[in-house]
Amino acid sequence: MQKPALPKGTRDFLPDEVIRRNYIFQILKSVFSIHGFVPIETPSLELMQSLTGKYGEEGDRLLFKILNSGNFLEDIDPQDWQSGNAHKIAASIAKRGLRYDLTVPLARFVVMNRDKISFPFKRYQIQPVWRADRPQKGRYQEFYQCDCDVIGSKSLWYEADLISIYSEVFSKLQIPVEIKINHRGILMGMAEALDIGPLFIPMTMCIDKLDKIGSEKVKADLIALSLTPEKADALLHWIQIKEIAELPAAVLSSPSGAKAYQDLQRIMEYTVRYELKQDVVFDPSLARGLSYYTGFIVEVKGKNMDMGSLGGGGRYDNLTGSFGLPDIPGVGISFGAERIYDIMESHQLFPTGLRNPLKVLVICLDDAAFGSGLEMVISARAAGISTDLYPEVVKLNKSMKYANDLKIPYTILIGSSELESNNYSFKNMMTGIQESKSKQAILDFLLSDIH
Amino acid sequence: MQKPALPKGTRDFLPDEVIRRNYIFQILKSVFSIHGFVPIETPSLELMQSLTGKYGEEGDRLLFKILNSGNFLEDIDPQDWQSGNAHKIAASIAKRGLRYDLTVPLARFVVMNRDKISFPFKRYQIQPVWRADRPQKGRYQEFYQCDCDVIGSKSLWYEADLISIYSEVFSKLQIPVEIKINHRGILMGMAEALDIGPLFIPMTMCIDKLDKIGSEKVKADLIALSLTPEKADALLHWIQIKEIAELPAAVLSSPSGAKAYQDLQRIMEYTVRYELKQDVVFDPSLARGLSYYTGFIVEVKGKNMDMGSLGGGGRYDNLTGSFGLPDIPGVGISFGAERIYDIMESHQLFPTGLRNPLKVLVICLDDAAFGSGLEMVISARAAGISTDLYPEVVKLNKSMKYANDLKIPYTILIGSSELESNNYSFKNMMTGIQESKSKQAILDFLLSDIH
């Protein structure tokens, strides 16, 4: 006899949690759908050759690998065993792995299905991903990602449209947010203005940490990168400017900066037409670590919430290059469903009516009532009302406790006196008020009740 | 540069396929929900100790195992390596595996969450499972299971209610089916009547093959089990009887047979009250291979369809015993979503309106029209109409081809003459009819159109 347990970093979802999570997913799907995005799904399993090398060294380490079927020992080169080469042995005995994100599978999907889809291809995808990260509060080894991307167009209108999707989704979820935007070209323009172009990538990685470690430490890191203190100061000053037009001409007229400035102005021209309910702000310190972004970048933060980003995204030039199809541009955003869930829980933002849809429980007080009880249940369900029958005749407090535990709003009691009068006892479980009603009167009431 | 590929036995789902699959899942969820079932989800990853030994030797072989993180070589006992003990090495280097079905995770879930749920616990679960089976037509290594079970009650009403769920789901899907029912006690009663009780399990496994191999071969198999030819003939005759009351008294009055007869009569009494649209038939040859069933069993076959079962289930006495919680009864059914999808495709049972919800594409004929085009899109979406904008000014046949490829029913063309007249060209892509309409007239039309 074993004590049951779950692998670390994984979770069971109870009915109320599934219903609440689906509420979030449903809002995402409805907004994606109104904006012309369609769903795709990819398998949980991918070939390791599709995954390895796509997420950096750290990412490779965090990939879940699936042991080959059959006698996997035959796949091991004895020399690798002798030399204890775990890396090479893993590559031999595990040809498949679990999806690490939705972006690499999208790239593979687009290349493999390019004859079946039309470009611009607008897809959304809401599926779990797996990472062998050290589990901690709010971080799991299996969690959902929710992405929407437009593949195959350079139009900057999509940037504005994706910003509007962020705004609409978070407004529907009742989470006030700040949508921060920037452009990799602004950061590149700063590097060009400071004549440190070759340091662009490590520079952005330093800047990315501003929120976490503060400007003092970022300055030290920049100097460690060989920037002079003056250049580090200039950079730190620039990335804290709130209005794009206030950036120095040296940045805005540099080759990369000029293009980025033009792009961002165009994006904002489109964006203002949407009359969004959420704030969109320019933030030149926004860097987005992922190196595949090449243009516009975006990140969403909850207002007055001590929590990381609720979503992020950007434009990329070469999504599918590593799968043999170069020069396919794209732009996309992602939603952090787990964090959104946590915020909605802690701020009590889920609608109160969100729960088990079961609306009424029929309780038979003796065996003779069972036939009428069953008839009541069948009629109510036929009318579209989620209804159940307590399956046995038990003490009333036991069946009533069941109705209360499941938060069922109404019960119908049927015993000998109800059978005689042909009127059932109909109880509102919230108010405790019990009335005698005909079957039809109960059905009419339940159908009109939007409780 | 690598040629992208998928692991064998896995699939990408294109938008139309996802939409069609979701149509099936949505019908399942709505029927489950009306009947008072609530959703749960469990992680894809389970501890191998939860999975191993639950599915027989064959099942153990088909489990997907996840390589431990970090240096898994340290987990190998060198003696196991010397002796080439793949089985023991696998157990050492893979502590986790992928879910093989939804029943074992349900058992683990019920035990671990028993303080958070109320019994009878009615849950449904629609999630993928993984089996390292040899892939073939219609059989995949990653596929969805759709289960609904009632845990913690012996009431036979649930049997009838689950039968009604089968009937409602397949009626809504427009698939005519035959719902075959039986009871393990009927088969046990036959064994008792023939005085071959100890051979019950192998006997049911022989009977289970009747459909596939025919009665001649089943008879040979039964004789190989040590039945006399007379007993084998009697058994073969009995399992082809269509009316339960026509079974011989020796079966119906045997200890197991009597109880089963009573159960089935009660279940049918409940079932007839539902006035189901699908046929429910008694079939004593129905055996259901799974050894955990102990009472009522059920299986659904498409009528006039050359295809295996579309679903099956039954009652079990001891779901959670192997996780340390004995004597919890349950009854449940499962839907074969992949086969249902294949049938609906081949019989063209999906509603014609089921597709990309995008209803209208706005096409700008020159750059000056882009502002008005964007406004049109924003207004239509605000009215709840799934709308998109072709993102660039291109040759009209290119944007029109895009609309046709995506099967978008309407397009709105805006160029200089449309801007001047303030009436847009509104085209029905099915009929080819193009009209000049004001923005508001277009919105009114689209809102009233249920196309």
Interface confidence (ipTM) of the complex: 0.94
User: What sections of A208-254 are H helices per DSSP?
Assistant: 210-224, 229-238, 249-252
CB within 8 Å: B1 and A324:
yes
Token pair of B120, please? 């009878």
Query: Torsions phi, psi of A55, nearest 5?
Result: -120, 20
CB within 8 Å: B67 and A323:
no
* Segment 298-337 of chain B within 8 Å of chain A by CB: 322-324
| One pLDDT digit (tens) per residue for chain B, 451 residues | 568 999 999 999 999 999 999 999 999 999 999 999 999 999 999 999 999 988 888 899 999 999 998 888 888 888 888 888 888 999 999 999 999 999 999 999 999 999 999 999 999 999 999 999 998 887 899 999 999 999 999 999 999 999 999 999 999 999 999 999 999 999 999 999 999 989 998 999 899 888 889 999 999 999 999 999 999 999 999 999 999 999 999 999 999 999 999 999 999 999 999 999 999 999 999 988 767 899 999 999 999 887 889 999 999 988 899 899 999 999 999 999 999 999 999 999 999 888 889 999 999 999 999 999 999 999 999 999 999 999 999 999 999 999 999 999 999 999 999 999 999 999 999 999 999 999 999 999 999 986 5
**Nearby residues of B171 by Cβ (< 8 Å), 6 or more positions away:** B277, B278
In A237-307, at which residue ranges do the beta strands (DSSP E only) sit? 279-282, 293-302
Q: Using one digit for the tens of pLDDT, what is the confidence trace for B235-267?
A: 999 999 999 999 999 999 999 999 999 999 999
B8, B31, B34, B153: best mutation site toward chain A, by most A Cβ within 10 Å?
B34
Q: What sign for the dihedral angle of Cα B387, B391, B396, B398?
A: negative
What does the pLDDT read at residue A131?
A: 96
User: Closest Cα partner for A340 from A381, A307, A382, A291?
Assistant: A307
Whether residue B386 lies within 8 A of chain A, CB to CB, comes out as yes
What does the pLDDT read at residue B451?
A: 56
| Bridge-based pairing state of the strands A434-437 and B45-47 | unpaired
Q: Using one digit for the tens of pLDDT, what is the confidence trace for A303-345?
A: 988 788 999 999 998 889 989 999 999 999 999 999 999 999 9
* From B67, B84, B370, residue closest to A94, measured CB to CB: B67
Q: At what angle do helices B15-34 and B337-346 cross, to 10 degrees?
A: 120
Closest CA–CA distance from residue A357 to any residue of chain B (Å): 7
HSE (side-chain half, CA atoms, 13 Å) at B264 = 27
Cis status, amide bond into A43, omega within 30 of 0: no
Whether residue B77 lies within 8 A of chain A, CB to CB, comes out as no
Whole-model pTM? 0.95
Closest CA–CA distance from residue A112 to any residue of chain B (Å): 7
The amino acid that residue B297 corresponds to is I
Token pair of A312, please? 């992020």
Q: How far is CA A10 from CA A136, A286, A351, B147, in A?
A: 11, 31, 26, 21
* From B118, B153, B384, residue closest to A406, measured CB to CB: B118
- For residue B141, the Cα-to-chain-centroid distance in whole angstroms is 15
* CB contact at 8 A, B388 and A122: yes
Closest CA–CA distance from residue A431 to any residue of chain B (Å): 22
* CB contact at 8 A, A37 and A124: yes
Residues of A in contact with B96 (CB under 8 A): 7
Q: What sign for the dihedral angle of Cα B414, B418, B422, B427?
A: negative
Residues of A in contact with B43 (CB under 8 A): 6-7, 10-12, 142
Whether residue A367 lies within 8 A of chain B, CB to CB, comes out as no
Burial of A269 (0-12, 13-18, 19+ CB in 10 A): middle
CB within 8 Å: B118 and A402:
yes
* Segment 152-181 of chain A within 8 Å of chain B by CB: 153, 155, 157-158
CA–CA separation, A192 and A92 (whole Å): 45
| Bridge-based pairing state of the strands B330-335 and B142-151 | antiparallel
